Structure 1
């Protein structure tokens, strides 16, 4: 059979790129762009030019062209100008791209979906996380402008749901089941290595990577770690990331008497190095879409202690490749941490191997790219056909 022709994909992102704070949607765009280019495809990234962003309107990141739209940073007026400039960009280059992949389901996604539907252009609309569903265009309390944007989004050719909960939420919002495709975030597993020899009977190293913000549940994590610490008095916890809660969490650690066992590392560019040195990943978030950190920890061959929320429950199988507890459940989290501290080394290694295999099979970069390329080419991809809607299932 002849090989498929190469494609030129436009990635539309309603945030800074690359993100100085290391946002999940931005990281995914970068991972996918690298993967597509490695396969010989072309990628262009389109994003707004931020108010305090001292970057060129036309740039390159990892060899990928990045186009940043200028607009006045004035309430209301600025948004309308941005939308008009986006529409103008897409119209003037309507024959340049084989597909438009929108990575945050917000107003720019509405503009792209409306125009793409009219031009019969493949538009893949990705719901990246909880914000779109709880605060944004897809929320129950959406404003009039957000409801209009959602109606425009209904013209997208496909909705990428990165977790089973998001797929269910989209179905409950009235998105046709045949348009919802379950494709998780991607992880390049070649970046991460498994170290069996690093696992020791005592003194296991727990690792959290992410922003130090309330929705990550880090106050519950510190209290649970203090409770579980008797199971392994030498266990340590490293927090990689920055945020508003850095100082309050340091104060909390001192008040719990565990400050000597908690390492606040701040933001790090070499996350792979931190993963390589750890034994157990921890993700105590109260809400997520699908955490890149979860996938990276499991890709590193680490079992993960996580909360039972969107994304986590699709990958973490309790007793098989990690542990799950309810969000905000301090005692439940402490029990999971203690189990990870006490697990025999041989079982620990086998659990980590299963974690890596799970991610390779479901979210490995090549697996995800194969599915996305089918959407870009408008080839039918297995859709979410059994998503429970109102009154059906749990």
Structure 2
């Protein structure tokens, strides 16, 4: 079950579906219509179950829970895997532990809000962990944050991965071809930000930092690749920049690989994450990344890269300084990109992720078949 249906979470779900189908599993995906998830999951071999649901909780949540219960009756599963906060809310209320349930937050909901809403969300998460047999985190920091918040769970950590065959390294020829196809200057230093245009991803902070970068690196260009609720507001901010022509709003694209190939550096100034997928895809394509120090960021970088590859959250001045330094040395960007690709091959291959999630599922199914009180005898191989 998943809501959202776009962005990194949707890509994670599709990658899992593809791997699970290759292993012979029957897979159903319950998700809202629209977006990319339904079509791509179906193409990967899943049975897609129509589950209309809003992205955020609201008056319609009770109806969403009821619809999920109906879907579960029509397609009884052996394991339920809930992706992200909204599916985690509705799914845990619908299942209530009656089927072995994995909840994968992809970043904690209480980190996304403030004040009373944050307190209420935290209370819910503390209560609802009883309905998840396992909470699956994408980074050790995400797990530590959950524990620090008082959540009690059977924790597992499986870092995100990418299809290394799909995101192949882009050499100089690929960069030239991509820039020609995208109408970009061949010689201009280019930073690319791939992500949903929303508060979480911090493109507003990047635009605040950009005048400082443009002043230090003549000719530098920035591209924001993605769509989302903040698209109009960000477009207005771009129009108010001293040189708006140096920033391009590319909109939502079906495939980010041409933009990754064109980039010298990929930047993602998120306010919160679990472990963002876009930087992993960039590194798989042989591009260095500059990230904010949010959960998952340190863990996805090659050893020794944290000092140069991370900046504080919501710090435009620090972001501008580090981004300008990187774009001013394109040869170093090439070297770091090659090292990033090598690291990805060893640590973030989607095939390893699928194997570990598959092992978790099998453990949960075996445990469900053991009489109550004898669970400790079930071998834990995950």
Tell me the TM-score range normalised by the shorter chain: 0.7 to 0.9
Cα offset for 1:110? Answer: 1.7
Cα offset for 1:338? Answer: 1.7
User: Bigger shift: 215-224 or 181-190?
Assistant: 215-224
Separation in structure 2 between the aligned mates of residue 358 and residue 167 of structure 1, nearest angstrom:
23
User: Bigger shift: 352-361 or 159-168?
Assistant: 352-361
Determine if contact 2:275/2:300 at 8 Å carries over to the other structure: no
Separation in structure 2 between the aligned mates of residue 70 and residue 246 of structure 1, nearest angstrom:
24
Is residue 176 of structure 2 the alignment partner of residue 190 of structure 1? no
Partner of 1:172: 148
Q: How many residues align?
A: 348
Q: 1:341 aligns with which of 315, 323, 327?
A: 327
Give the 3-state SS of the residue equivalent to 2:335 in structure 1: helix
Is residue 111 of structure 2 the alignment partner of residue 122 of structure 1? no
Partner of 1:102: 82
Determine if contact 1:110/1:149 at 8 Å carries over to the other structure: no
Give the 3-state SS of the residue equivalent to 1:115 in structure 2: coil
Structure number with higher helix proportion? 2
Separation in structure 1 between the aligned mates of residue 239 and residue 32 of structure 2, nearest angstrom:
42
Q: CA RMSD in A?
A: 3.5
Q: 1:47 aligns with which of 5, 16, 31?
A: 31
Determine if contact 2:265/2:327 at 8 Å carries over to the other structure: no
Cα offset for 1:187? Answer: 1.5
Determine if contact 1:317/1:323 at 8 Å carries over to the other structure: no
Q: Report 1:296-311 matches (<5 A).
A: 296-311=281-296
Separation in structure 2 between the aligned mates of residue 23 and residue 212 of structure 1, nearest angstrom:
10
CA deviations on 1:62-89 (whole Å, 9 max, x unpaired) are 33111124799xx988533432443354
Separation in structure 1 between the aligned mates of residue 247 and residue 345 of structure 2, nearest angstrom:
31
Query: Relative to structure 1, is the Cα distance of residues 175 and 300 closer, same or farther in structure 2, using a 3 angstrom cutoff?
Result: same
Cα offset for 1:93? Answer: 4.6
Determine if contact 1:193/1:276 at 8 Å carries over to the other structure: no
Is residue 356 of structure 2 the alignment partner of residue 371 of structure 1? yes
Partner of 2:316: 330
Cα offset for 1:162? Answer: 1.3
User: Bigger shift: 275-284 or 210-219?
Assistant: 210-219
Separation in structure 1 between the aligned mates of residue 253 and residue 120 of structure 2, nearest angstrom:
36
Separation in structure 1 between the aligned mates of residue 207 and residue 123 of structure 2, nearest angstrom:
40
Normalising to structure 2: TM-score of the pair? 0.78
Separation in structure 2 between the aligned mates of residue 70 and residue 334 of structure 1, nearest angstrom:
41
Cα offset for 1:235? Answer: 2.0
Q: 1:278 aligns with which of 245, 249, 263?
A: 263
Cα offset for 1:34? Answer: 1.5
Separation in structure 2 between the aligned mates of residue 341 and residue 373 of structure 1, nearest angstrom:
41
Cα offset for 1:227? Answer: 1.1
Cα offset for 1:113? Answer: 5.4
Partner of 1:6: none
Partner of 1:257: 242
CA deviations on 1:312-335 (whole Å, 9 max, x unpaired) are 222135863862110121221112
Query: Relative to structure 1, is the Cα distance of residues 281 and 111 closer, same or farther in structure 2, using a 3 angstrom cutoff?
Result: same
CA deviations on 1:236-260 (whole Å, 9 max, x unpaired) are 1111122344444344344432222
Give the 3-state SS of the residue equivalent to 1:141 in structure 2: helix
